[in-house]
Amino acid sequence: MLPEIMDFQGILDDINAQIRPLLGTGGRVASYIPALARVSPHQFGIALRTCDGQEAAAGDSATPFSIQSMSKVFTLTLAIRSLGETLWHRIGREPSGSPFNSLVQLETERGIPRNPFINAGAIAVADRLLTQGDAKAEILGLLSSLCGDSIRIDPEVAQSEADTGFRNAALANFMKGFGTLDNDPSHVLDVYFNQCAIAMNCLQVARAAGYLCRDGAHPYDGSPLISETQARRVNALMLTCGTYDAAGEFAFRIGLPCKSGVGGGIMAVVPDRLSLCVWSPALDPTGNSHLGRLALELFVARTGLSVF
C-alpha cells in the first residue's frame, strides 16, 4: 500500500477494536511502585503523528499515564544536545543483557552503565543534566515544547518512587563510589524519580517523539533539536536497548526503534514517516506492555512499516 493513501485513523480504530476484548486477559500492572499498582489494567490507547502533521488516535489515547522509562529518551536527547560525544565517556552503548535495575554489571564494569536506558545509565544522564542546570525544568520544558501542551510531574508517583526506590539509590551510590557521578546521589535521584513520574497521554507522547522521525528537527517549528546523526543514534539505541531484555524480540517482531516504560507505554519511531505511542498498563514478564506490544505488531503487520 502506498504510504500517502494509508488511512491511519481507520487502522488505529481497527487495532483498538481488536485489542479491547483482550483487556485484562494477560500481563500484570507494575507492582513495585505503589502508585502504579493502583492503575486499572483495563485501558488501551494508541496515537500517531506523521511527519507531515497528520494525526490519528484511538481508545484511551487522551488519558494521562506515567511515562516512566520513556522519559529516558528525552533526557538522553537533552544530554546529547548539550554534551555531544563527551556524554559517552561515562555511559556505554551496548545492550545490557541483564535486568534494567541490575547492580551486578555495574560492579564488574566499575560504575560505567552499559547504556543510557537501563536505570544506572539514566541516573548517570540525570547527573550530567544536573551539572548543567535545573534538570527538572529542562525536561518539562522540552516535553512541553515538543508536544505543545504544558506537561507536569505526578507528585504522587514521584513520592512513591522516592519511597520505594532503594535499588535506584543503590545504583546511584555505587556510581558515586566509583567516581562516575558528579553530584550528590540524593539530588540526582530526585531528578530521576521526577522524570519517571511525568504524566502524558498517547497523543502527547506521539507528538513529542516527532523529532526522532524528522532527523532531529522539532516536530512543530522544524528547528534542529539534535543533529541528524544524533537522532539516528538515539533511534539505534532505542532499537537495541529500548525494551529491556526483549529488545531482540521487539526487533524481530516489530522492527522499529521503541522505548517502553513500566507505566505500560511504548513509543515507537518510523524514521521519515511517523512517531507513535501505545499504552496499556499490564506488563508482560519482560516489563513491556503486554497489549501495547501486540498493538505494535498489529500496526506493523497492517502497514508494512519497519526499518528493515
Residues that bind ligand GLU (CB under 6 A): 68-69, 100-101, 119, 161, 168, 196, 261-262
The residue type found at 24 is G
> Is 72 one of the catalytic residues?
yes
Q: What span, in angstroms and rounded, lies between the C-alpha atoms of 261 and 250?
A: 14
CA distances for 295 relative to 14, 58, 62, angstroms = 10, 12, 17
> Is 32 one of the catalytic residues?
no
Catalytic residue among 29, 66, 71, 72: 72
Q: What span, in angstroms and rounded, lies between the C-alpha atoms of 108 and 200?
A: 36
**Which residues, including other chains, have CB under 8 Å from residue 210's CB and lie 6 or more apart?**
49, 51, 146, 218, 219, 220, 275
Catalytic residue among 71, 157, 192, 289: 192
Q: Which is nearer to ligand GLU, 95 or 271 (CB)?
A: 95
> Is 244 one of the catalytic residues?
yes
Instruction: Choose among 117, 68, 120, 123: nearest CA to 246.
Output: 117
The residue type found at 258 is C
CB of 300 to ligand GLU, least distance (A): 23
Contact 242, 258 (CB under 8 A): yes
Q: Which is nearer to ligand GLU, 60 or 161 (CB)?
A: 161
- Please provide residue 256's backbone torsions phi and psi, each rounded to the nearest 5 degrees: -135, 150
Q: Which is nearer to ligand GLU, 127 or 161 (CB)?
A: 161
CB of 277 to ligand GLU, least distance (A): 14
Query: Which value, to the nearest 10 degrees, does the dihedral of the CA atoms of residues 184, 189, 194, 197 take?
Result: 180
Catalytic residue among 29, 39, 125, 262: 262
Q: Which is nearer to ligand GLU, 191 or 262 (CB)?
A: 262
Catalytic residue among 69, 102, 160, 260: 69
Q: Which is nearer to ligand GLU, 8 or 74 (CB)?
A: 74
CB of 248 to ligand GLU, least distance (A): 17
Q: Which is nearer to ligand GLU, 12 or 237 (CB)?
A: 237
Q: Tally Cβ neighbours within 10 Å of residue 110.
A: 11
CB of 272 to ligand GLU, least distance (A): 28
In angstroms, how far is the first alpha carbon of the chain from the final one? 17
How would you class 233 by CB atoms within 10 Å of its CB: exposed for 0-12, middle for 13-18, buried for 19 or more?
A: middle
CB of 306 to ligand GLU, least distance (A): 24
CB of 114 to ligand GLU, least distance (A): 14
Catalytic residue among 125, 244, 259, 289: 244
Please list the active-site residues: 69, 72, 192, 244, 262
